Structure 1
Amino acid sequence: MSKRRELEEICQRVPEIVGRYTKLMLHVNDQVLIERTAQHEKWGQQRHNYGDWLMILGEEFGEVCEAMQRNKGWGKKTDAVDLHKELVQLAAVASAIAEQVIEERGLTHDKT
């Protein structure tokens, strides 16, 4: 049974408070997958050295920081605004890096 299916079943049989958090995890991970798919459609399969990945990840992290500053009233008009969107994008970039690591190690999703 897949982990996702297992979590969906947990949502059905646990107290509402636990189910709510599990549903929230599934929802956020769905959003990351949607963003990851959009990145793949826009850029194709990306494979970079880790230094370049670090720069891409750093840029996304910077946008998260900008959005957090804006939420405190510290930001500039040009700064990122939507913290949730920026966090999802950051997670999607991290997922792309993880995909490359798995590929480089010759692993499949069954072996991870």
Structure 2
Amino acid sequence: MIDDGSELYDVVRDSSVVHAHDPKLDGGRMIVACSSEHLRDLREQYRQRPFIDAELWAGKIYRAVDAHPKGISAEQLAEETGLTPAQIELGVLWQNLGALRWHQQFGQGDDEAP
């Protein structure tokens, strides 16, 4: 924990980050470091992580759907996310592939095929 005011901040690109309410903050992760060297190391870690548009789109879709528990139309989804129908399709595919990978890694048993 840094509590002497010497911490350093930066924002790095990260397609796994979707802000709870503000789409302008999507795709950027705030990092905090205790030294210039540590900040440089953190920046490099995120530079090596690929920025995957479909991952970001999946998060935008989730945020919009979550805000409408009674359902959302395709047109409203496109408007709220700012995504095209093709981007929405790729975002949903990304989310589904992630769920499948999770199930394969952490599922209850091999006999439970999705």
- Same topology, TM > 0.5: no
Q: Determine which structure has more spread, i.e. the larger CA radius of gyration.
A: 2
**More helix by percentage:** 1
**More strand by percentage:** 2
TM-score by length of 1: 0.31
TM-score by length of 2: 0.31
